[in-house]
Structure 1
Amino acid sequence: RGGGGGAAPPPPPSAPPPRDDLFGPRARIDAVLALRRAARVWQPLGRLLERDVPDVLALTEDELYELLGPAATRLADAGVAVHWPRELARSLSASAVVRPALSAPGSATDGTTFFDSEELLRFNWRLALDGDPLTEREMDTLAESHRPIVRLRDQWVVVDPDLVRKARKRELGLLEPVDALAVALSGTAEVDGETVRAVPVGALAALRDRLVAGPEDITAPAGLDATLRDYQLRGLAWLDLMTSLGLGGCLADDMGLGKTVTLIALHLRRARRAPTLVVCPASLLGNWQREIRRFAPGVPVRRFHGADRSLDGLDAGPDAGGFVLTTYGTLRTSAPRLAGQEWGMVVADEAQHVKNPFSATAKALRTIPTPARVALTGTPVENNLSELWALLDWTTPGLLGPLKTFRSRHARAVENNEEIENEEAVERLARLVRPFLLRRRKSDPGIVPELPPKTESDHPVALTREQASLYEAVVRETMAQIEGAEGIARRGLVMKLLTSLKQICNHPAQYLKEQTAKGGGTARLAGRSGKLALLDELLDTILAEDGAVLVFTQYVTMARLLADHLAARAIPAQLLHGGTPVAERERMVDRFQSGDVPVFLLSLKAAGTGLNLTRAGHVVHFDRWWNPAVEEQATDRAYRIGQTQPVQVHRLIAEGTVEDRIAEMLRAKRALADAVLGSGEAALTELTDRELADLVSLRRPS
């Protein structure tokens, strides 16, 4: 104690106890056992057991990388947790970035097309910390690092050696604009055999965003004499967006949804002085010409087909800015002439005709230069994804890369049996393809309510050379006989003439009473009839959509020829006519309604009433009955109570013939049409020689 009576000072704080006093004996034993267990799964920890106090372990760089990766997982499985300092960041990531090399190429945002630019795009690695991209200086720091932990932005960052290599070699090369767009849309790229995440920036990102977002609403163009349904307006807006960007696209709507009128509207909206070239099967030339004259009256249209075909006058004068129609066959033989003409747009109708990229037709089509390419088809993928590649590689060349690369990266992956890998591959391909392919089905929500329950279409088809020769010969010979006949004899000759001409319009083999191999003869059917060629086109599309169809003809002989033709093509079909027993008739209906047989050939008189065939979504009238009411009764075999799908009615009409003229009168409701409605073709026997000659003479399409 000290003097003065003052208070004693507080005792000094006690010193910390020795380290061994922090744990009891049991805790030390448990810690050693845990350490031994951990050392068995990760050997470097064994060095701790050699220390008097196992508190600190110096690690080599390789050991640190191992602890950051697989060792931590093995330790966790052994019940040993690895705790890292909070300030140690591990969220360094890498992605491939596509950006303009100098200035941004044009995009939809500045009024120019992306592909007008010949500038290549840079393809580089970009590293990011917590999602925030590193600067060039920070990338340099990382590239110069030789340790697994680097100081970045005032924090320690764990660095994978692979990321260091990417920082050291950032340049991945240069990309063509179309390749860059493919990378931007899919969000991935192939780098050294590895699929990596890819990020577009600048104008490329803006273009990607616009394509993904889709088009804005538009109105029908001036000059279109039609009211477009909502889904057709959406299709027009989409085509307008794609062609304005110089990208092209494939409109893959189901049959009957109005691809033709949508394309005509696109032509009017683009309003170019350069003409639009439409390439289609020969059987569709007449339909295109009539649809253009119907929906865009005043727009010039000509056929580049036949011996006297010409492209003169397309660049100036009244024919400028119109339509030119040609066939795939003519394209093959006249590709250099067509390639020498300036086109505002090229359209490939029924584009499945060029699904084989190595065919002469596909190669010829690729030689025609144009700023806008549109493929129209109801069946974009019939057999495999290579067909999809062929279509889109024409509409937007280079988008999907070389065919071999596309098959290895996308097609095989999509067809893989591994479910997770398959889903990822499908989604990756969908991101790439979706902006360039517009596919709508009749069953899609928002489309069926807009469709009328029944849509009727006249399909004009050109006669073949054989048909035209037979037709003109029969008219010349029979008219000479009619001019010298009277009364019943004259009426009989007129009826004979009309029947002969209708049979020639159907097929020369019917008029010439030829038989096919199945019927005991050797007649060849393919290539001799415009109607048969169009029927093949229709059936290919309908069956590819898993549809069913009724085919009516008033002639049993023609029905048998069709049955033999379809059998030769291995298309399942059945034939019902007046001689079919009732029991077999019922079995046929059951087979058709159950979906076993998709094509039902029917004699108009025998099957025009009394049948319920609602499985059919399509009805084809191969030849015309003079009384439309009879055709309507036949159509009602499909269009009746119980029908749940829209019905498409197709009437095949031989162009420039008596069939064509009768169809015109029926549409125009002329006085003669009323007579035909009342008494059928018998009314035509009362025409004068001049009127009859005008009715039956063959008129060449203009």
Structure 2
Amino acid sequence: MLRREDLHKYQEFCVKFLLNHPEALLILEMGLGKTIITLTAILILMYDRFEIDKCLVVSPLRVTKVWCDEAMGWSHTQNLRLSRITGTARERKAALQKKADIYVINRENLVWLVEFFEDNGMEWTFDMVVLDELSSFKNFKSKRFKAIKKVRPHVKRMIGLTGTPTPQGLEDLFAEVGIIDGFQRFGRFVGRFRDAYFRKGDFNPYTGVVYSYIPLPDAEKRIYDKISDIAISMKSVDYLDMPECVYVDHAVEMDAGESEIYEEMKKDLVVELEGETITSQNAAVLSNKLMQMASGCLYTEEGGIVHIHDRKLEMLSDLIEQANGQNVLVVYHFRFDHDRIRDYLKNLGYEPRDIKTDVDIDDWNAGKIQVGMISPMSAGHGLNLQRGGHIEIWVTLPWSYDYYSQTVARLWRQGVTADTVIVHHIICKDTVDLDVVEALKRKSTTQENLIAAVKANLEKGVFR
């Protein structure tokens, strides 16, 4: 069991930062130990300084268990009482009634929790709130944001934890910083925030509706200067003895007939396959359809699936074979990816298994799963999978750099035992896959950028 003395110097620095800042934004890359840092600060605030009584942690569902496991893994925090407010309404109520120091709830149930207090005429009892992952609160119109905003005046200490504070651009910081500091630094109105730091991008000249905003040349520096007193940021490579992370691209290629189908969709926005007429109404839909085709299938208008090729599956099986029995984490994007990978590998004698439950995670880390399967949309934040393997294979890459970087960090993080983490990308030549790779290299994080690229390429007639 780890002890308080085992904390790194930078972690102790972060603990002190949280202790000295009632409103704090902890921007730490994956693997730097945001959870134990925060638990240590909570312990001191609660039992040494007597400044807080009860703490609420809001996190992705799977990460709720990570908080409990992390507390039990350190001698100085193992006696903290944690209660997970998850499950059915009856189970959530029971967890809420337990005597605990820290209550951990998944973000999907935050609205329920706030309404539960309101409906029962109860005062908000959590004087400290930790938002993990803060980027989940970037949308100031979302129900969860409005829920936490409602109780914000009753919270004495507010902490935001994230590795990627701007997954969709600098605009995200308006809501994220606002909920932490009570809208002190950027004000309460998003319009004024935009006027101060952005200019209008795409807009409808007839209605005046603005579709996007472009940061002013000095916006990033001015925004970060504005929050520098409550934010601390660190990178893993600067503070940890991290293993090397190697990225390897593997190209596959459609045959002439398959490429012809792809080119038809790209050019005409419509294709006839197996008696089905499949259309793409706009650039966003087209980019998604082309990604599907590059991966080997295509969804029909009714939700059916039309097969195009198995090139990526063939490469995947080769890579697993080359791993020579070492555990492999396979990342899929589309639902048909999941089903096809599972069936294809089973026919080859493998036993692929989804990494979804706590038991799955424990078995993976215990080395009991040779081929694990995850989706970046459901496994992007908080999962500790570094003990189960060091090989990650992407069958289909996502547009989002946030999803990508967070999923890579499931293996490439503190605690991995291998000297090298290998991330494989299976890429279909002469397709939209190449645009996705280029976007990820630029750390593009929004599909809007890629939709713009689709439009530009279509106009130029050079779209892959």
Give the TM-score normalised by structure 2.
0.49
Give the TM-score normalised by structure 1.
0.34
Structure with the greater alpha carbon radius of gyration: 1
Greater RCO structure (CA 8 Å; 6+ sep): 2
